[in-house]
Structure 1
Amino acid sequence: MRLSISHETTYHYEDQVRASIQYVRLTPHDSERQHVLSWQLELPRPVRAQLDPFGNILHVLTLDEPHEAIIIGARGQVDIDELREAEHESQSALPFLRFTRLTEADEALQAFATQQCRQRRDRSALIDLMHGLNQYITYTPGATEVQTSAAQAFAGRAGVCQDHAHTFIACARSLGIPARYVSGYLYSESSEHLASHAWAEAWLEDAWYSFDVTNQLARPERHLKLAVGLDYLDACPVRGMRRGGGFEQMHAKVFISPLPAPVMSVQQQ
């Protein structure tokens, strides 16, 4: 599947911001499952790309002059291998066993993971865990914030894709399975769900397998990966700090559409 993406995020501030720094992870990279055909990042000024500790493509945007708004855009085309279910990497998966504040598994999460998986530690067990979390935590926009932890979302039984990913990661790590947070895009035929998305990956049989709790999908055939990390803070598309500015308003527009695959011509002999 070939996907075309257009993503624009605008930040407006109540007062002038004296200075700001934005960590931008909005550029996908090639992998076994996706091939970037073209990609363009639109920032207020040119910024050199670098790799962060997790291998994500990172741009650090620093604005030293006063400003009242920031517009960050990204657009491009990416081919997705719909048949590939897992991705292999040379880096160790062991760092993704470490809990963070957002992915700490309390007693309730540990008990839920054990109840869903019992003694199993395979893909079918984690698929059962995915379905169980989907039924337990109702998708409810506005019920949580970016700083809401997995334990808090689980206790409240409501959240969004970020919370679904965090609770899955917490459960998997409590079972001794490396798991990581993924940010990116999901294409859906329903226009209501064309947006940025988050899901989880778990390390099984020397490969990373995807688990989208929100949509109950264990095959990433319509997912475009941007970044990975221990939790949301490591992999979110844009994360920043500023001096001044007062109240902030953020508005994001994301458009995703499938494109027809190129037709190969056959020359006659």
Structure 2
Amino acid sequence: MRHLIRHTTRYHYTDPVSYSIQVLRLTPRQDEHQRVLRWNIEAPGLLEEQVDAYGNVTHTLTLTQPHEAIELKVTGQIEVAPLDDGAVPGEDSRLPVQAYCVPTQLTACDDSIRAFAQATLPGGLRGPDDALALAEAIERRVAYEPGITDVRTAASQVLALGHGVCQDHAHLFLACARALGRPARYVSGYLHTDATHMASHAWADLWWPEQGWVSVDVTNRQYASERHCRLAVARDYESASPVRGVRTGGGAETMLVDVLVQQ
């Protein structure tokens, strides 16, 4: 399936920013099943490209002149091949899989998560079908509702709140999988769907020794498919977010994001 993607991120500041640096993970991963046909990032400065420890294509934008706004525009076309029950072939995995067993602040497992995981899968994560069962249990427990959580909401808080978005579903899935002893990682990207709030999306990969990484869309309770375009993978959102940075000055910040994914 071929996707046409347009993604614009605008930052506005109440006071001038004297210095800012941003890391952009806005270029699709160089995985075997997805091929970039054309891709362009427009930014108000030079972009320094590199590949990070997770195998993600990143660009660093540094602005040293005073500015009151930043606009980032991505346009491109990508071809994504179907996945066999979510199995991700030939991807750039630079870290040992054990690195994805390590909990993070956003995916730490507490007693409530451990009890939820064990009640859902008393026999543990024994195969890909169990991964879908875990996704279904999370979707039933945590209703999709924007505006309740933010990028700092941890998995334990998501479980307690019972509301969240795709990012929260993914973090809770990671916390449960790691509690059950299975390596798992966060995926950020795009999803072709009729639901506009899911054009920019997040899901999870689970490691099986026999199959490698299997990609699960927790929010939609299904394996990832040719409708999913992968931007970045990491242990959680913080290391896979499309845009992340720091600044000096600027006062209050407003961010507007507009994403369109078309077949």
Where does the alignment leave 5 or more consecutive residues of structure 2 unmatched?
Answer: none
Q: Which residue of 1 aligns with 2:102?
A: 98
Q: Which residue of 2 aligns with 1:7?
A: 7
Q: Which residue of 2 aligns with 1:246?
A: 251
Coordinate RMSD, CA, aligned: 1.3
1:119 equivalent in alignment to 2:135: no
Percent identity between matched residues is 47
Q: Shift in Å at residue 193 of structure 1? A: 3.5
Q: Secondary structure at the match of 2:47?
A: coil
Matches of 1:219 and 1:15, distance apart in 2: 42
Please give the TM-score of this superposition, normalised by the length of structure 1: 0.92
| Mapped contact 2:100–2:235 kept (Cα < 8 A) | yes
Please give the TM-score of this superposition, normalised by the length of structure 2: 0.94
Matches of 2:174 and 2:211, distance apart in 1: 17
Q: Secondary structure at the match of 1:86?
A: coil
Q: Which residue of 2 aligns with 1:267?
A: none
Structure 2: which amino acid aligns with 1:119?
G
Structure 2: which amino acid aligns with 1:214?
T
Identify if the C-alpha distance between structure 1 residues 194 and 119 changes in structure 2 by more than 3 Å, giving closer, same or farther: closer
Matches of 1:211 and 1:238, distance apart in 2: 23
1:203 equivalent in alignment to 2:204: no
Segment drifting more, 218-227 vs 4-13: 218-227
Q: Shift in Å at residue 195 of structure 1? A: 2.2
* Matched residue count: 257
Q: What are the Cα deviations for residues 34-59 of structure 1, in whole angstroms up to 9, with x where unaligned? A: 11111111111121210111111111
Q: Secondary structure at the match of 1:115?
A: helix
After superposing on structure 2, the runs of 4+ consecutive aligned residues of structure 1 that deviate more than 6 Å are none
Q: What are the Cα deviations for residues 199-230 of structure 1, in whole angstroms up to 9, with x where unaligned? A: 11100124111111111122323100000101
1:58 equivalent in alignment to 2:58: yes
Matches of 1:32 and 1:50, distance apart in 2: 19
Q: Shift in Å at residue 189 of structure 1? A: 2.8
Structure 1: which amino acid aligns with 2:24?
V
Q: How does 1:28-47 map to 2 (within 5 A)?
A: 28-47=28-47
Where does the alignment leave 5 or more consecutive residues of structure 1 unmatched?
Answer: 259-269
Matches of 1:188 and 1:137, distance apart in 2: 21
1:220 equivalent in alignment to 2:225: yes
Q: How does 1:131-146 map to 2 (within 5 A)?
A: 131-146=136-151
Structure 1: which amino acid aligns with 2:88?
E
1:87 equivalent in alignment to 2:88: yes
Q: Shift in Å at residue 94 of structure 1? A: 1.2
Structure 1: which amino acid aligns with 2:87?
A
Q: Which residue of 1 aligns with 2:236?
A: 231
Q: Shift in Å at residue 118 of structure 1? A: 1.6
| Mapped contact 1:116–1:125 kept (Cα < 8 A) | no
Structure 2: which amino acid aligns with 1:86?
A
| Mapped contact 2:182–2:207 kept (Cα < 8 A) | yes
| Mapped contact 2:88–2:212 kept (Cα < 8 A) | yes
Q: What are the Cα deviations for residues 164-217 of structure 1, in whole angstroms up to 9, with x where unaligned? A: 000000000011100000000000034x34521111110012411111111112
| Mapped contact 2:29–2:55 kept (Cα < 8 A) | no
Matches of 1:64 and 1:221, distance apart in 2: 40
Q: Which residue of 2 aligns with 1:176?
A: 181
Identify if the C-alpha distance between structure 1 residues 175 and 22 changes in structure 2 by more than 3 Å, giving closer, same or farther: same
1:157 equivalent in alignment to 2:162: yes
Segment drifting more, 200-209 vs 139-148: 200-209
